[in-house]
């Protein structure tokens, strides 16, 4: 009876781990999902405030993705998304968090990282994505990225908004580029 109870406990623990993984990751890309991102970002903002450190975020949007789906189909579009996700995974350090923000948008939380260093990471992502070759998609894949660095007393929602604004500046200024939000530290 003890052996059966131990076996049932292991099965229950494994089932709970599977449920947690499914609830926190994006099924297509394997990256963290938006809910997991928000939880991690709240923790990181609190940590950065406590430690007085930099913490940056990178928001990215694949350029002209809708036309890829329209011209080559959603299966090819899914391959493009998965390929882009693998770039974010490769460019992430063990303590960073790469997430699918939604649709063709990705997000990278880079703790302990200044604006300048986050721009360097974003440029590496931009360059690597431009080199992606997806079977069935003859187009070059490009990405626009916005970088923002947490400012003291800034709420996580405002940090996301500033990264989003920088992303849309990158899109409006020609795409396939990196833009940074102003980094004016509060006194």
CATH code where residue 132 lies: 3.30.70.270
Q: Residue 35: which domain range? A: 29-180
Predicted confidence at residue 186, as pLDDT, reads 39
Contact 132, 63 (CB under 8 A): no
Show the tokens assigned to 174.
Answer: 């020609």
CA atoms within 13 A on the CB side of 109: 27
Consecutive H or E run containing 102? strand 97-102
Q: Is residue 93 part of a domain?
A: yes
Question: In 3D, which of 140, 151, 155 has the Cα closest to residue 63?
Answer: 140
How many helices (H) does the chain have, and how many strands (E)?
6, 5
Q: Is residue 186 part of a domain?
A: no
Query: What's the domain count of the chain?
Result: 1
Q: Is residue 83 part of a domain?
A: yes
pLDDT greater at residue 19 or residue 13? 13
Which residue stretches of 27-73 are H helix?
Answer: 34-51, 65-72
Q: Is residue 75 part of a domain?
A: yes
Catalytic: which of 39, 104, 105, 157?
104
Q: What is the pTM of this model?
A: 0.88
pLDDT at residue 164 greater than cutoff 70: yes
Show the tokens assigned to 106.
Answer: 């990705």
Contact 29, 82 (CB under 8 A): yes
Q: How far apart are CA 79 and CA 13, in angstroms?
A: 33
Predicted confidence at residue 187, as pLDDT, reads 34
Q: Is residue 42 part of a domain?
A: yes
**Average pLDDT of every residue of the chain:** 92
Contact 108, 60 (CB under 8 A): yes
Contact 122, 147 (CB under 8 A): yes
Predicted confidence at residue 5, as pLDDT, reads 81
Q: Average of pLDDT values for 165-173? A: 97
Q: Is residue 137 part of a domain?
A: yes
Q: Is residue 23 part of a domain?
A: no
128 catalytic residue (yes or no): no
Q: How far apart are CA 15 and CA 35, in angstroms?
A: 20
Strands 178-180 and 143-149 come out as parallel
Predicted confidence at residue 154, as pLDDT, reads 93
Q: Is residue 14 part of a domain?
A: no
């Amino acid at each position: 009876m003890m052996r059966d109870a131990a076996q049932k406990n292991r099965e229950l623990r494994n089932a709970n781990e599977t449920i947690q993984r499914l609830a926190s990751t994006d099924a297509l890309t394997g990256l963290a999902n938006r809910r997991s991102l928000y939880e991690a970002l709240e923790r990181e903002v609190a940590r950065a405030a406590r430690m007085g450190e930099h913490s940056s975020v990178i928001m990215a949007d694949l350029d002209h993705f809708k036309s890829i789906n329209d011209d080559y189909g959603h299966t090819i579009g899914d391959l493009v998304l998965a390929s882009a996700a693998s770039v974010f995974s490769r460019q992430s350090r063990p303590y960073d968090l790469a997430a699918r923000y939604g649709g063709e948008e990705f997000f990278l939380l880079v703790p302990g990282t200044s604006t300048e260093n986050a721009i360097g990471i974003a440029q590496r992502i931009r360059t690597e994505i431009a080199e992606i070759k997806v079977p069935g998609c003859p187009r070059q894949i490009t990405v626009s990225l916005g970088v923002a660095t947490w400012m003291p007393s800034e709420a996580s929602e405002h940090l996301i908004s500033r990264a989003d604004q920088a992303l849309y500046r990158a899109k409006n200024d020609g795409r396939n580029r990196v833009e940074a939000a102003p980094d004016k530290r509060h006194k």
